[in-house]
């Protein structure tokens, strides 16, 4: 199968969903993460569509493109030209099936292409997993599952769990792994959130890099992000989002074919600032 076919499949799946949609959204985000010696600048755009098939089945599809530019504060030609930029294209298909009146099974399939500038078949990875949502009562939901994800940097299988609690009509919280959030809405236009998430990315290098006696084929980023977020409904369908926070335990590493780390950039922790705009229909 050629890479052109893979790209066509990634694009065709959400297009089919759009023709049978109940709703959709388009969002654009710009983020900067200045660390001690390296600054990451990220731009992403995503298209989400969903369709209620029947009373028991719902499909949600998200197509996202992301570009990460890396600015090295040190004057190192090899770094600037060998490890910059990074790109990813991913399509997340989520199928939710109602097993009982209180139990939902979520099946997630996420093919993703992670590369620098040259796209190859080897850049394709398959992520995803299974999750069960159990309604305890009208205010509480427990979720647990297992996923192959890049939340910790390189792809790996991890357990997921969360406890959702509706505090009152204006506040709710979700406590779990890899994501935790507490949100408050003082009116229908404003939402304030405090979030904590384990998140990461990985990319295949265009060419194998030789470092001393080791070879590097992948770059990975990972961090624990704690942030304050504010979303404002500007006018009906339009929303803006502001996010400011801090990345803890931030890592930027190179690894070989066996996913062993062969080089650490020692990037250090960083502040983050994100500005986004979204259209919902």
Mean pLDDT of 201-212: 86
Least confident interval from 24-38, 63-77, 126-140: 63-77
Average pLDDT over residues 47-56: 92
Q: Please report the domains of the chain, with CATH numbers, ordered by start residue.
A: 3-21+48-280 (2.40.160)
How confident is residue 9, by pLDDT bands cut at 50, 70 and 90? low
**C-alpha–C-alpha distance, residues 160 and 270, integer Å:** 26
Residue 5 has pLDDT above 60, yes or no: no
Model pTM score: 0.90
Q: Is the pLDDT of residue 131 over 50?
A: yes
How many residues in total does the chain contain?
A: 281
- The pLDDT of residue 207 is 84
Residue 215 has pLDDT above 50, yes or no: yes
At 10, is the pLDDT very low, low, confident or very high (cuts 50, 70, 90)? low
pLDDT of residue 258: 86
State mean pLDDT over 251-279.
Answer: 93
What is the model's pLDDT at position 77? 46
Q: What is the pLDDT of residue 79?
A: 66
pLDDT of residue 115: 95
Q: What is the pLDDT of residue 27?
A: 97
Which has the higher per-residue pLDDT, 22 or 182?
182
What are the distances in angstroms from CA 132 to CA 135, 195, 265?
A: 10, 22, 38
221 vs 9, residue with greater confidence: 221
Is the pLDDT at 117 greater than 80, yes or no? yes
For residue 209, what pLDDT band results from cuts at 50, 70 and 90?
A: confident
Question: What pLDDT, on a 0 to 100 scale, did the predictor assign at position 8?
Answer: 60
Give percent of the chain with pLDDT exceeding 70: 90
**Per-residue confidence (pLDDT) for residue 190, from 0 to 100:** 97
Tell me the three-class secondary structure of 207-234, residue by residue: EEEEECCEEEEEEEEEEEEEEEEEEEEE
Can you name the residues that pair with 203 across neighbouring β-strands?
219
Give the pLDDT band of residue 175 (cuts 50, 70, 90).
very high
Please state, in angstroms and rounded to a whole number, the distance separating the CA atoms of residues 242 and 276: 7
Alpha carbons 278 and 267: distance in angstroms, whole number: 31
What average pLDDT is seen over the chain? 91
In the predicted structure, residue 2 carries a pLDDT above the cut 90: no
Which residues are CB-neighbours of 254 under 8 A, at least 6 positions away?
Answer: 83, 205, 209, 211, 216, 218, 219, 220, 261, 262, 263, 264, 265
């Amino acid at each position: 199968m050629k890479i052109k076919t893979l790209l066509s499949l990634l694009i065709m799946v959400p297009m089919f969903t759009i023709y049978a949609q109940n709703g959709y959204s388009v969002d654009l985000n710009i983020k900067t993460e200045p660390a001690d010696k390296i600054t990451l600048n990220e731009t992403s755009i995503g298209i989400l569509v969903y369709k209620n098939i029947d009373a028991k089945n719902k499909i949600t599809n998200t197509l996202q493109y992301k570009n990460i530019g890396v600015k090295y504060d040190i004057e190192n030609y090899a770094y600037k030209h060998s490890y910059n930029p990074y790109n990813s294209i991913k399509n997340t298909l989520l199928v939710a099936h109602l097993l009982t009146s209180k139990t939902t099974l979520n099946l997630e399939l996420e093919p993703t292409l992670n590369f620098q500038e040259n796209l190859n078949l080897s850049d394709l990875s398959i992520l995803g997993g299974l999750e069960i949502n159990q309604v305890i009562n009208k205010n509480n939901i427990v979720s647990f599952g297992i996923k192959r994800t890049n939340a910790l940097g390189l792809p790996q299988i991890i357990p997921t769990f969360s406890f959702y609690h509706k505090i009152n009509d204006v506040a709710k919280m979700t406590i779990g792994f890899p994501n935790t959030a507490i949100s408050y809405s003082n009116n229908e236009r404003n939402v304030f959130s405090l979030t904590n998430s384990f998140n990461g990315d990985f990319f295949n290098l265009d060419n194998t890099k030789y470092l001393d006696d080791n070879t590097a084929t992948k770059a990975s980023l990972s961090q624990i992000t704690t942030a304050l977020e504010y979303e404002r409904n500007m006018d009906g369908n339009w929303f803006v989002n502001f996010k400011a926070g801090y990345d803890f335990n931030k890592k930027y590493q190179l690894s070989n074919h066996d996913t062993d780390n062969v080089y650490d950039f020692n990037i250090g922790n960083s502040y983050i600032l994100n500005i986004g705009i979204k259209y919902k229909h």
